[in-house]
Structure 1
Amino acid sequence: MGSTPANEPPLPENRPNAVYYPTHVEGMQVSGMAKQGDLTCALTYSFPHRFWLVTGQEKKKVEIQSDDSVYMMPVVWNRNTTIVPPDMNPQITITQNGEQVTQLSPWPMLSQPMSLHFGDNVQLPGDGTYQAKVRVGSPSTNRTGALAEVDNKPTTFSFEFEFSQEKLNEVIYEDIPSEKEGTKGAISPMDVEMGPTKQVPKKESLPGIIRGAPTSGDATFIVTTLDDASRFGGTDSETYLVVSPRTPYNRYMLPLMSLSGRLERDGTSIFDGILQATIDPELDYHYGAIVSDVQSSDELTITVDAPPQIARHEGYEMAFIEMPEMTLTV
């Protein structure tokens, strides 16, 4: 077991400005699963966690409070694509015997074993049976392909779950060896049977013509182009320029960032504008723009106007903050 979960180990000294092995790894319990329309929601929990909120390039550490009972995570995904949209913004209301215990809006969060999820520490009055309602609103990110046809109205999922400190203590908690913690690398994704897709497509699995894979802030930005932009709001004679950022090691999406691009040909600007966050069944979460065309000698500059505005668990809080612009010849 190692350290006590409620008293997490000290953070590694000299952490790199990159993804690194954390001090420990924890499992989780699934309280229940519910379906509504095309969506599935799993309500899960683990030990209370420390984590970091990100605003602009500023980080704020959230410490575990003495009355925190669990770290609660609703995970919502589209069953047809198994994609976890990072814009569902769930709200949780927990009651017991008809009385409200707490209400919270968990943060979009990135964790090495748990990947993208929404989570926050929750205070419960003690062991017992609780009811939880998880409400998700209408999405804010552009959807294309089959996802554009999904009915994205607000949805509520209902759960009843038992909480006990004894059951919580059965959750896996393992220390990472001291010689490994704080070094570059990442814990492998947790294997959740019948769960959603945790990773964006591999480079070789992305459609279109792969143009490059520059890096910035320890993230990799795969650039690909599709000759037909019609399903993205363009025409079949226009090109869809795709930038697909992902974490190293685990290939998780990096949502909620602001990206812009500049495409130049022989010193003349072909495109200069925003790369719009979009969710597509084939491309998953990415940033894209419609351009007239792309030729092999064009120069593309990608600018990170704001790094991912997503909270991070230990191991991710040092990466994806300072992200210099990238230039490549496509």
Structure 2
Amino acid sequence: MHRRRFLAAGAAAASASLAGCRSLFQTRSARSPPMVEDRPDAVYIPSHVEGMEMVGMADAGDYKVALTYSFPHRFWRAEGDRFEKVEIQGSDTVHLMTTVWDAETGTVVPNGAVTTTITKDGETFTSGKPLWLMLSQNMGVHAGDNLELGGDGTYDVEVSVPPLSARRTGAFRDRFDELATASFTMGFSQSTLEEVFFERLQDRQGERAALEPMEMDMVPVARAPATEDLPGTVLGETTSGDAVFAAMRLESPPAGFVESDGDGGGTDSDGTATGGTNGSTDGDGGAGTYLAVSMRTPYNRYPIPATTVSATVTRDGDAVFDDDLAQTFDPDLGYHYGAVADVQSGDELTLSVGAPPQISRHEGYETAFVDFAETSMTVGE
């Protein structure tokens, strides 16, 4: 009698457990619909759009940091000249995301080395785990990853933002050069996660277009300046790899600019900029005009960081400039690629990209910004 009761209770518990697993599996399957067939080698409307749960915002040195999460989802991680699809794992609980911006200007800072530590009741779930620098259609530039938690409860989350390695100029020249940490208390429940907004886009998926940026109170979205708002003289726009390149000439480099030998720099495996220098002196840092190239996505004007852009300026058949452009962060020019270069009316400006941008992509961006051909423009008056 007691044995039958025990077996019945065990069977009921197992049935409930399996039902819970099936429910979770069905939820994840529903929120990871089939990929769009015949995806273009360009930006396209993904199979679905999703929302997120806001944890909160916190100060961290020069930065403000927002912490959000959504359900785990697939994304594509940059690995040099190829992209590795990251599938949802059975242990994944959430897709954790951070947005970092300058507290004074509200400008999003594309830092590729943000890390997080998550604990609950003395148990550590991640310790100094790097988050991938990412690009999504509704959030723009952020950092995130699929992470495992320990079920419902209250978690302590620390987000560390290291110094920005891109050269900084203008009002940014003496900023973002120290490690900063933001602390959060995150209440998590599976039921709240399952209520996060989700919508299939079957009537639009695959179109050559992009979703609108998410509207978030107090949390900015990274945007490159509109062409008409760029300082200096706009030389023109051109497109390659479905990225838009807006080129401009300033009569002198931005304040605090210092040019180093081999100024262009590149990126390491996590998308962090290398090379170039952060100016810290007054004045223009050198003679000559300044060539700036803003590389951005079509439709939403998100800046595309973490790559190498090279420029060649040809005049009367001779190259008067041929070098990499340094990754640079400026409050007026935004995140751009720049160098001192003599650019005059009638010159031919040719741009080329080395390895694809070392930034992970959410669905809808994974087939764009991969293969680049040289692209040129003739500099007007």
- What TM-score do the two structures reach when normalised by structure 1? 0.95
Shift, 1:169, TM fit:
1.6
Q: Does 2:335 align with 1:310?
A: no
Separation in 1 of the partners of 2:191 and 2:373?
47
Shift, 1:230, TM fit:
5.3
Root mean square deviation, CA, Å: 1.5
Structure 1 alignment gaps of length 5 or more? none
Shift, 1:308, TM fit:
0.7
1:235/1:144 Cα in 2 relative to 1: closer, same or farther (>3 Å)? closer
Separation in 2 of the partners of 1:245 and 1:35?
29
Q: Which residue of 1 aligns with 2:324?
A: 274
Separation in 2 of the partners of 1:179 and 1:230?
46
Q: Does 2:230 align with 1:206?
A: yes
Shift, 1:11, TM fit:
0.3
- Identity of matched residues, %: 48
Q: Which residue of 1 aligns with 2:172?
A: 147
Indicate conservation of the 8 Å contact 2:310/2:351, yes or no: yes
Counterpart selection for 1:189 from 213, 217, 233: 213
Give the 5 Å matches for 1:158-197: 158-176=183-201, 178-197=202-221
Q: Which residue of 1 aligns with 2:263?
A: none
Q: Which residue of 1 aligns with 2:340?
A: 290
Give the 5 Å matches for 1:1-330: 6-7=28-29, 8-103=32-127, 104-150=129-175, 152-176=177-201, 178-229=202-253, 231=255, 232-233=257-258, 234=284, 237-291=287-341, 293-330=342-379
Indicate conservation of the 8 Å contact 2:213/2:221, yes or no: no
Separation in 2 of the partners of 1:88 and 1:107?
7
- The alignment partner of 1:257 has SS state of coil
Structure 2 alignment gaps of length 5 or more? 1-24, 259-283
Shift, 1:84, TM fit:
1.9
1:264/1:5 Cα in 2 relative to 1: closer, same or farther (>3 Å)? farther
Q: Aligned letter for 2:203? A: E
More strand by share: 1
Q: Aligned letter for 1:101? A: F
Q: Which runs of 4+ in 1 moved over 4 A?
A: 234-237
Separation in 2 of the partners of 1:109 and 1:10?
22
Q: Aligned letter for 2:350? A: T
Separation in 1 of the partners of 2:294 and 2:60?
29
- The alignment partner of 1:146 has SS state of helix
Shift, 1:4, TM fit:
5.7
Indicate conservation of the 8 Å contact 2:140/2:221, yes or no: no
Q: Find the structure with the greater CA-based Rg.
A: 2
Q: Deviations over 1:140-188 (max 9, x none)?
A: 1110011112252101111111000111122111111x23101211110
Indicate conservation of the 8 Å contact 1:230/1:236, yes or no: no
- The alignment partner of 1:109 has SS state of strand
Separation in 2 of the partners of 1:30 and 1:179?
29
Separation in 2 of the partners of 1:88 and 1:55?
14
